[in-house]
Structure 1
């Protein structure tokens, strides 16, 4: 049963032309003055959704997108701002790309946003899919196994930081804290300051719906967002059933579709034919963004 509605804005600026016959993606290169117009769009969308009673306004984290497609680099800063110009709507991080962050910095920044927005900021994490973003920040993406391994260790650290008054961690990628002297004693554990004061609701995209991925999410109580290929052509049905089965194996009996978001692109017009024609250029430009 669908209980709430939200919408995602990936952070595109208004483009002068769109579609397969328009400017090629790699030839788009906009000035900073043009790129920063995305923030006025974000404000307008958030205020409209808030007035219309939407539950959540989701945004996507991306970097270096001079082509004008995805121009919001810091979702947590945006969340704090938007919660001060709206009344009720929640702001969803869809998603913070963990491999581009130090896990403790991400945990601290989210906790701060949680406090400053009165619990209206929703935590969301992903592994990334743009090489220009993830690899530039010094983390693996082309090596998919290393990317997943790093992400899983980061999330283990983040949840320790959120849930434990003090903690330590020893893993492949991080030793927290390092064994160093501090104020006359040897450092053995640390405390995240601040920690979230509201229950942390964490979401992650369900892409391949692999057994490993679903089990990892269930282990940490992470909720799932089904979209893209996982929601197309009837694929969502098998993913929803697999999700319910894995959750049950971890002791969580959910109703069908529980703790899931299913996302679709929609366009409303007088007739289906008119809708297809009107949105054709937007669909084509979206394909160009993901194309080679």
Structure 2
């Protein structure tokens, strides 16, 4: 953060010295600058929250780090308990005007189509790629080691008990359907978490083709975003 907020900086720690004190154009280098400089200050720090231990929450609150709480990668969708504990942690560390949803990003994978069936059918394969990518990293907490081992086996995977897209939607981890369905779901989240200002939405999962990403972003921008008061930040 020193690099972002100071004109020039140096760091001496246990493992690194930045910059190394070496001769440079006739003098000993003591500080370096970050180029280009950040356009917006102060620079915000965001970090995915997965394990959501109290120690990690305390560290983030103490160091002004804001969490990104996932939807699709964490089976069951955004955790109300995690959000409540994060709100309590902010209050404990002296943050003002804290509400449920304050100082966090909520992730919600979405897929828009003309019908719910089409949205589910088209997005199904992307959930499978999500599981292959994130289950070995511990994001799908209900998966056993045996399930993870069969993820890449096309013969065993279909009968290994992995969640279907329908089950994932029912759990709240994804939202697939018409733009009206997506809008309604986000409004429900907005009502539940009045302090929420930021969401990470859309279909940019593992294996999604670039043309599908663009299509989904365009539909979300034209059919969903106009229903909300969205602040434009440059």
TM-score after normalising by structure 2 = 0.47
Which protein has greater RCO, CA pairs closer than 8 Å, 6+ apart?
Answer: 2
TM-score after normalising by structure 1 = 0.39
Q: If you compute each CA radius of gyration, which structure gives the higher value, 1 or 2? A: 2
